[in-house]
Amino acid sequence: MISTRRKPREQVRTRFTRTQEAARHGAEIARRRVGASAERIKPVAADRVLVARGWGAPRIRRAAQYVETGLAPKVSSFLSGVAHRVEPPGRDRPRRGAVVAMVGAVAAVGVAGAVLTRRSVTGGSDDASEEATSADSMTVSGADVDGQVHSPH
């Protein structure tokens, strides 16, 4: 028959304590055995690790070379293609040639306005503009308006 009564706490505590002690004792025995085995196996394991590294290094080197020469260019071209497809269409901007043409037209209109303004100041005739131009060139060369050259003292 199964007892439904609770056992006293002291009895439970002593069972738990005994179980802990048994586990500690078993762990200590296992540690000693594993430690002794590890000391015997250590040189053999070190040799096996060196053999595995010698076997793996050339294979890793070959894999690296394949990634560099074979796989990387393929991945690069694939990503470039994807980027080209993903990129949104460019906006329609005025062409550089159209902008230069507009600036040139504005400059031509400005020059024409300056020439017309100069003609109207000098009297409006072609002879007057030629006289003004020759007088200007004389002034620059050191001559007076009447054409006489003075020496600088």
Separation between Cα atoms, residue 37 and residue 59, nearest integer Å: 33
pLDDT of 133: 52
In which residue are the tokens 């505590």 written? 13
pLDDT band at residue 76 under the 50/70/90 scheme: very high
pLDDT of 150: 58
Separation between Cα atoms, residue 70 and residue 78, nearest integer Å: 13
pLDDT tens-digit readout, 120-148: 877 655 554 455 555 454 444 555 555 56
Separation between Cα atoms, residue 70 and residue 85, nearest integer Å: 23
Mean pLDDT value of segment 6-13: 64
pLDDT of 28: 92
pLDDT of 81: 92
pLDDT tens-digit readout, 77-92: 999 999 998 988 877 6
Mean pLDDT value of segment 28-36: 89
Paired residues of 149 in beta bridges: 143
Q: Which of 39-43, 114-118, 123-127, 133-137 has the lowest mean pLDDT?
A: 133-137
